[in-house]
Amino acid sequence: MLQAKKLLSVALGLALVAAQANAAPKDGVYKEKVMGLIAPFTVEVTLEGGKIVKVTSNDALESPGVGAEAIKTLGDRIVREQTAGVDGVSGASLTSFAVLQGTRQALKKAGADESFFKRVHEAAVLPETVTSDVVVVGGGGAGLAAAVSALEAGASVTIVEKLGYLGGSTNVCGGAFNASGTSYQKALGIEDNPQKHFDQTMKGGHNTNDPSLVHYLADHATESLAWLESLGLKVNPKVGAATGALYQRSHYPDPAGGHTYIAVLEEALAKYPDRVKVFLETKATSLIEENGRITGVAVESRGKTAKVFGTRGVILSTGGFGANVEFRQKVNTGIWKEANLDKEIGCSNISVAAQGDGLLMAEKVNADLIGLADIQVHPNGTPGTGLMLDIKTSGRNRLFINTNGDRFVDEGAPRDVLSKAVFAQPGQTFWLVQNHLRYPDENKIDLLSGRTMHDMLEQGRVQKAETLEDLAKIMKVDVNRLRASIEEYNRVARHEVETDRFGFRANHTDDRPITEGPYYVARKVPTIHHTMGGIKINTNAEVIDRNGKVIPGLYAAGEVTGGVHGENRLGGNAVADCMVFGRTAGRMAANNK
């Protein structure tokens, strides 16, 4: 009898444990604060009827098109699979980690059982064979411009993108688009023309650029900007000068930031639902060559392989190799050969999208790779990541001050000059100093960063000082030394002298003396920003082989190519490059019948 009671007691206990293990979580909205890539944000998990019905964040400041897209994608995955054990979004790993971490913590608070944490892996939706007129490998700025251009020319298009979203590193660029002789420039009294754009691009590239490609860029940039406007792009009427642009011809989208271009191009793609296919988280592994012609690309997605054929052409628009540390060190024999571009130097681009996949695939089919040593280092990196966050070195009315309190370079110099000057400073770092001239309203979205000063101050990387004395305390420098540095700059800005000892000239319509607070300051470091070398192309965006001949069926556009920028790219020329040669590649491939 006693033994029977013991057995009954054990059975009841096990039943209770089982019931608790399978108990539905408590309904409600659960909020968890997590650390994102840009700033902390709140993950909100809504439970109804014991099920996850929504995972969102209303205060996230993650990058539009990247982190912001990852939050939405992961929310949909978690709701669909009813578990926090889903895969993250390729190309947004830190944001993905934060969302999944917050979701797990919220579910634990709700009393969810282990079924809400089980690992699941989504199956690939890729057919074994896909055929269209044109295949675009890489759905960033150049790739989407190519796809839309090909669609406009009547072709069917398949886009293969290894990230979990479209837009690539264009999503996180500043958005500057260099174009000359525009109505926006004329309205501001700025005289400009394609020849001046050509001359300055050649000068910036140390005359190592391919002149035919530079002429094509300068001659077609303005019409490409107009093309984007015809697709719905809004352009800010205030023309600026991106870091190292050498002239006031940088046009910015409204709202600011590279993602605006991507949003416009995605809307254009949506007009052709019957002629365009998009495969995300699908990596191209090799080009398919048949009878001396490129006819497609082999791909893999979630362990599944397939072949994607383009009957008229294949366009490579896979970006550069700035985040491929081993490869960039191997080819670093150019203007940065004295610098150690190892893993301690960050990259401003999306790491997964800057591995050089496309140029390595092209090399295997005998494509000529040129200018690989032409690597661009940018002075606007954030310590620890290399990402270009918060206040920018672009524009005017900003000071480069080292840790001694001294200016050390002409702030309007080309990017290679600026970055080399930073490398020569104590600790290879500097303070970027701006004031109310750049941010007259802390709650207004900035043209260059696409964010408000209020948000930047909240995150802590930017600090505010009401007086010069307060600024010196933040920077831990002698206030008199700092005052002397700023006054040297101001004498030029007030046109008391034509230039200073660094060569700075106040030749921009925005130039003003920096005389009073509030001041805004942040530490900056050099970062890998662009790789100017890559696949050799002609003005038809056709890929050229090592014998100087066109490789039939193969086109390339954007950062994967070489020859446009030479040894140093001018700020604002990259987006123009993507759009000009992307459009050309799409049109040429579509008409290659």
Structure tokens at 462: 């930017």
The answer to whether residue 3 sits within a structural domain is no
Report residue 124's pLDDT band, with 50, 70 and 90 as the boundaries: low
Mean pLDDT of 26-35: 93
Q: Are residues 552 and 472 in the same domain?
A: no
Lowest mean pLDDT among 3-17, 55-69, 386-400, 475-489: 3-17
Residue 199, classed as helix, strand or coil, is: helix
What CATH number is associated with residue 50? 3.90.1010.20
pLDDT above 80: residue 17: no
Regarding whether 445 and 414 lie in a shared domain, the answer is yes
Domain boundary among 97, 117, 137: 117
The band of 256, judged by pLDDT with boundaries at 50, 70 and 90, is: confident
DSSP E strands: which ranges in 154-303? 157-160, 177-178, 250-251, 276-279, 283-290, 293-301
Q: How far is the CA of 76 from the CAs of 71, 88, 215, in angstroms?
A: 9, 12, 46
Q: How does DSSP assign 79-136, residue by residue?
A: HHHTSSB----TT-HHHHHHHHHHHHHHHHHTT--GGGG-B--PPP---SEEEEEEEE
pLDDT in tens, 454-494: 988 988 899 999 999 999 999 999 999 999 999 999 999 99
* Whether 290 and 304 share a structural domain: yes
Please compute, for residue 145, the number of CA atoms within 13 A of its CA located in the half-sphere on the CB side: 30
Q: Classify residue 4: in a domain, yes or no.
A: no
Considering the domain architecture, whether residues 370 and 381 belong to the same structural domain is answered as: no
Same domain, 111 and 240: no
Query: How far apart are the C-alpha atoms of 380 and 173, rounded to whole Å?
Result: 12
Strand 399-401 vs strand 430-435: parallel, antiparallel, or unpaired? antiparallel
pTM of the complete model beyond 0.75: yes
| Site of tokens 């830190």 | 94
List, in order, residues 6 or more apart from 375 with CB less than 8 Å away.
322, 328, 331, 332, 334, 336, 341, 528, 530, 531, 532, 533
Does some domain include residue 345?
Answer: no
Give me the CATH number covering residue 520: 3.90.700.10
Q: What is the mean pLDDT of residues 496-502?
A: 96
**Tokens (6 digits) for 183:** 């109505």
Amino acid at 555: Y
The 3-state secondary structure of 165-178, one letter per residue: CCEHHHHHCCCCEE
Tell me what percent of the residues of the chain surpass a pLDDT of 70: 95
**Does residue 145 sit in the same domain as residue 293?**
yes
Residues 520, 383, single domain; the answer is: yes
Q: Does residue 12 register a pLDDT over 60? A: no
**By residue range, what is the domain housing residue 243?**
129-320+356-374+532-590
User: In the predicted model, is pLDDT for residue 343 greater than 70?
Assistant: yes
- The C-alpha atoms of residue 406 and residue 499 are separated, in whole angstroms, by 17
Instruction: Check if 415 is active-site.
Output: yes
Q: Which two tokens stand for residue 590?
A: 């579509």
pLDDT of residue 22: 54
DSSP 303: T
Look at residue 354 and give its three-state secondary structure.
coil
The per-residue pLDDT for range 175-216, each reduced to its tens digit, is: 999 999 999 999 999 999 999 999 999 999 999 999 999 999
In a domain, residue 140? The reply is yes
CB atoms under 10 Å from CB of 396, counted, come to 20
Domain end among 527, 560, 576:
527
Judge whether 581 lies within some domain: yes
Of 502, 527, 552, the residue that ends a domain is 527
For the chain, the average pLDDT equals 92
C-alpha closest to that of 167 among 296, 352, 295, 328:
352
Q: Break the chain down into helix, strand, coil percent, rounded to 5.
A: 35, 25, 45
What's the total number of domains in the chain? 3
53-112 confidence digits (pLDDT tens): 999 999 998 888 899 999 999 999 999 999 999 999 998 888 999 999 999 999 999 999
Pair (518, 576) in one structural domain: no
Distance separating alpha carbons of residues 141 and 64, to the nearest angstrom:
14
Q: Which domain CATH number covers 557? A: 3.50.50.60
401 and 430 part of one domain: yes
Q: Is residue 218 part of a domain?
A: yes
Task: Assess whether 36 and 153 both reside in one domain.
Answer: no
| CA–CA separation, 538 and 521 (whole Å) | 44
344 is a domain residue: no
Asked if 535 and 369 touch (Cβ cutoff 8 Å), the reply is: yes
Q: Say if residue 163 is in the same domain as residue 233.
A: yes
Percent of the chain with pLDDT over 90: 82
Over 70: is that where the pLDDT of 576 sits?
Answer: yes
DSSP 240: B
- Domain shared by 433 and 509, yes or no: yes
Catalytic hit among 77, 104, 328, 415: 415
In a domain, 233, yes or no: yes
- Cα–Cα distance measured from residue 469 to residue 477, given in angstroms and rounded to the nearest whole number: 10
- Do residues 537 and 210 touch, judged by C-beta distance below 8 A? no
Contacts of 593 (CB under 8 A, 6+ apart): 312
